[in-house]
């Protein structure tokens, strides 16, 4: 089953981000972001600050490693979202990456789910 088929219907106000997707065709509704490009990341941070209506979900499924640069981007995204009363949602399914979130206590300031479908469902759940 494809990833897209496993996801609930995603409204336009939910933004799914994948830093390095395995194949674009598997992720039709996901914004593909090169997090090594400072200009792209600066634009994303400004977008998050300017638009306080959208929900952002980072898809890290299938990833067992997250470098310090990427962790820094996640923290900066969370800070931008928190300034507008929102939280960053992360989908991560590999034990190694989940351990990084637990050991750094990032799982206390971000919503970490073990599947992308679970992260989307969490984002769509009424407050």
Residue spans of the domains in the chain: they are 3-124
pLDDT of residue 12: 79
pLDDT of residue 11: 77
pLDDT band with cut points at 50, 70 and 90 for residue 8:
low
Helical H segments across the chain, by residue range? 3-6, 38-50, 68-82, 95-103, 116-124
pLDDT of residue 1: 45
Question: Of 47, 53, 105, nearest to 75 (Cα)?
Answer: 105
Our CA dihedral for 2, 24, 67, 116, rounded to 10 degrees, sits at -30
pLDDT band with cut points at 50, 70 and 90 for residue 57:
very high
pLDDT above 70: percentage of residues in the chain: 86
DSSP assignment, residue 120? H
| Residue 25 scores a pLDDT above 70 | no
3-124 maps to which CATH number?
3.30.750.24
């Amino acid at each position: 089953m494809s990833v897209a088929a496993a996801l609930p219907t995603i409204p336009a106000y939910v933004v799914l981000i994948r830093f390095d997707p395995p194949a674009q065709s598997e992720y039709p509704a996901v914004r593909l972001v090169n997090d090594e490009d400072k200009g792209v990341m600066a634009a994303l941070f400004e977008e998050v600050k300017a638009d306080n209506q959208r929900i952002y979900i980072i898809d890290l499924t299938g990833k067992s490693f997250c470098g310090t640069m990427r962790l820094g981007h996640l923290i900066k995204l969370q800070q931008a979202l928190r300034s507008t009363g929102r939280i960053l949602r992360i989908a991560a399914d590999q034990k190694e990456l989940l351990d990084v979130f637990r050991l750094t206590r990032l799982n206390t300031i971000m919503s970490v789910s073990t599947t992308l479908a679970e992260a989307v469902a969490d984002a769509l759940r009424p407050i």
